[in-house]
Structure 1
Amino acid sequence: MKIYRLLPILFICLFACKKQKVTSHPQEDINLKKAEQLFANQNDSAFYYFNIAATTSKDSLTIATSYSFMAQIQNSAGDFFGAQESATRSLKLINIKNPKHATCWASSYNELGRSSLDLKQYQLAFSYFNMALKHADDDARPVILSNKAMALQKLKQYPQSAKIYNELLLQKTKNSTQYARFLSNAAKTMWMGNAGYDAAPLLLKALNIRIKNKDDWGLNASYAHLADYYTSSRPDSALLYAKNMYQIAQKLNSADDQLEALQKLISLSPSAAVKKYFESYQRLSDSLQTARNAAKNQFAIVRYESEKSKADNLILQKENTEKRYQIIKRDVILVLGILSFIAISVIAFLWFKKRQQKMELEKQHAVQENQLKTSKKVHDVVANGLYRIMSEMENQPDIDRELIIDKIENLYEKSRDISYDKPELHQQQFNEKLSVLLTSFATSKTKVIIVGNKAALWENVNAKTQFELEHILQELMVNMKKHSEAGTVVIKFEEEENNILISYTDNGIGIADDKNFNNGLNNTVSRIDTIGGTVNFETKLEKGLKVHISFPVA
């Protein structure tokens, strides 16, 4: 249950930018005003009108305010990366030297922190909340401090988190709903930091306040905290609170909280009831993912249509300008016929200029192609090389500092020659080099098995092919490490009818049929083509991924 996303917390920060906007410019933007009204009524069209205000207004604070609200809507819909983009756009327009912009600054940084918490980037979230606090007003400050305390709790810095909650409890407030939230969070945090701490009195006190206030969101949080607290000591009580949480989450129509409650019920319920809860969990999880994807697509469509409309207006303005120009030109020619020679000269000049522009465009395309080629080399040689070194450092308990420095220096030398089309020459046997490369990706959680990598296999393979093959295998292993979550990886080498066959197999999550390859895998296919080989990705498996590579020996 994500406490920092509850409605009582949001309403303080959600209207922070709105309050600042009223004092920043005398004439209120019509689209922004309509968007705020729709937002207050939780109408889905609010995002559309905030986007119109952001793309049509000439006032920087109006635009920043609109983007900040859009970030809040995207966070609530689960579009966390989209929320970060909107909040960042808002911050780029804020002049912090202007006191009227301060509250919008705090709200936008708070949204960056919220999205980072959801993305489990807790240290980053902590930094964003600190930035928000620099210019937060008295209304927003307790909320942001509470979010900061949550980030510290996620970082397992329980004493620091509890200290913030306790300081908030000492502040005089007439808001009993907010007090109950701080009280429940403080109790949970102190218990998480000290398993022997008796958190029950404070948790139950917060629960009673929320029952009295009929605070459904608060009750949802209290039931979650009590279920967690009693899981070990009193499982029957924990089960009761988990059921209460599930009921209140259904009432609130909060899919995230329903999923959390179902997780608790699955672990606490008798075996006869587990299947029912597990099936409900699967259905709800799939439905939530579908809804979030639909929301992300809708946000993208709104922005696309806005940009397209803006581009169409620019084209129309250009056409009108050209038409006016043609009319003036015609009149001038009619009245001043004697200037026809000058007119022809002007046309010739324009043609020559257009031709120069075309030639310049061709040059730019050539430069872009060269840049793309260089980018590919940077990805394969530098980026994957650095990733490999990082992987080795991460998984070796005793790091040979000199060896790491040598590898980095070697990588530096490679980067200096990045623009030259020549394979590297190594004295080390190629089979040994491949073994070092592949095993460098092995960890305590991932086992790498190599079969058939004998020196004799590579005797007739030229240096260019070896160079390309090394980067092909390195890209497969980097992709496995980043995305597959594999526990076992098997790479098998064999020769058949003057062709070398390489079979890569892992037991990870595989690649969906409709998933587009990233730049690295696209580069892999391109490299295989250059050595006259073929590659086949088997994605229709129950689990894992199989890749078959074949290329001629010479």
Structure 2
Amino acid sequence: MKFKFGLSLIFVLIYNCCLAGLSPENGIANSNYQYSATVKKPTDSLEQLKKQIGGFAKKKDYQNAIVLSKKLLLKAKVLSDSSHITNAYWRLGYYYKILDQLDSAYFYFDKAYALNLKLKDSIGSGDRLLDMANIQKSLGDYNAGMVTATEGLQYLEGTNELVSVIGLYQNIAICQKELGHPKEALRWSDKIFSLLKKQPAADISNENLYNIKTTRANILAELKNYPTSFKILDSIAANTQGSNPWQFARAICNKGYYMWLENKDNAQSESLQLEALRIRQELNTAPGLISSTIHLAEYYFETNKPLALDYAQKALTNSKKTNNPVAILEALDLLLPLKKTLGQDVSEDAIFYSQVQNTLEKTKQAVRAIYAATKYDNDTLEKKNLMLLAQVAIKDKQKILAISAAIISLTLIVFVIFYKNQQKKKEQLEMAYKTELRLSKKLHDELGNDIFYLMTQVQKDPQEIVASEKVIILEGLNSIYQRIRDISKEYTAIDTGENFGKEFFSLLNSYSSTKTKLITKELPSNFWENVSEEAKIEVYRVLQELLVNMKKHSQATLVAITCTKNNKQVIIKYVDNGVGFNTTENYLGNGLKNVENRIKGIKGNIIFDSKPNEGVTATITFAI
């Protein structure tokens, strides 16, 4: 019984410790902060934790931020809340990175990346790869940094995540420069500026833009293009002087250093670097001080070795403060040969160099091991996602094919319309040609002989012409004049404006004679208002053709024409009591063919109803 009671007590204590915030990974208990155990909603508890983590982060208390982030991770796992799990992983990676515990930072960023892959969150996956690539770059593992950044572009390139894409381009550009490939580095820098031209840079902070421009200036200096590099650095200095001393100091420091590389005797180089150092000492920023002292150590390396050693020692001291192994090794690379030249003991520094080198290599190996251990699983997930992307691509392709088909169909429709219009123009030309032939034949057959006869009469001796012949000549001239008026009316332009109704009515009445009575009803003045000009012309010509045919062939004594209209169409009915024709035979001569073509041209219809000796009925309909 005592054993069971003791065991139960131990479990209760462990449970209470977990609730109090014990970190199983580092053993740090957050005993200074109390949390409410009576929370109604688990998600509220997670949100409260995030607020508390944010509070610690603002105070730069990253150790406690890490403790609470681990608690957030634990609770989110219990609740199977993927969103908060990835958030906790990201926070842990972020805070460990600030503390320069880069292997731990990389571990948690990789965890977040794997979960983003499972959740098919391509944006989150790309962002975490950017974080991982930046760690590899800061460790000096430039090849690995480029590979990871390039992998990140698979998820982000082509999206609206401008800041992240530029971050990946920037990472690759720096890695290429550090690996001794400045031309390739410039190509990636060009990509950044090309992207900034195409898309608005509203989300890019001024600080990031200065960093991007500084990197470009550094690359151009590597390529010995000092004038362009100086121009960029001068622009940054002009924009930051008095407002951003950190960026101003970096710009003049880099310019001074590159001026020295371009010309070892450049007097301005030393003053610019010393001015940058002075500003950085006032700001007390370790990374800036490291950069200045390294550059000055190199500047004085040949001309003033004791002063160069002093700057190298300061660079080492500041590098130790930031716990940056890459910066430490860079400082020692200057310090060791200077001490040796000046006859100073280098044993301790050499041992320290070896230790830092080993530590850095172990960190790189740890990061590579994390990468290798999870690469297979992540690649498998990525392949699944790529399959999904392929399916999406197929759907997109189908959409493109559908759009292409629509475009082709539209093109064909346009072509058909164009072709029909051309055919219509051709028909109109043919019709005009036939009209000319008809007019020519009319003038020759109907008027030519009569004119010739009158000419022979007129050519007689005036004394031989009797009174009766004079009357015949006058009547003949009058007949020719009347027929010329009819022909003129048949072929002259038609007024389709307000006077069309009167002209139309005048046309109908002009075919009424003593032999043929034409019955029609005068139409309202607004009858033709909604009818197009083209339709008016075609209707006019069609009725003109019917009446001409009637006069020539039908021997009709009575013709009736009625016009009616509703909201949708006009209906015109022609009826005569002439000789008619057989509609079962080929009854359409040139005249009636023209009639049918004209009505089809205005999308109308004409129906003939006739029998021999029973007259003709023609019904014309066309839409308004």
User: TM-score band (shorter)?
Assistant: 0.3 to 0.5
TM-score, scaled to structure 2: 0.42
TM-score, scaled to structure 1: 0.47
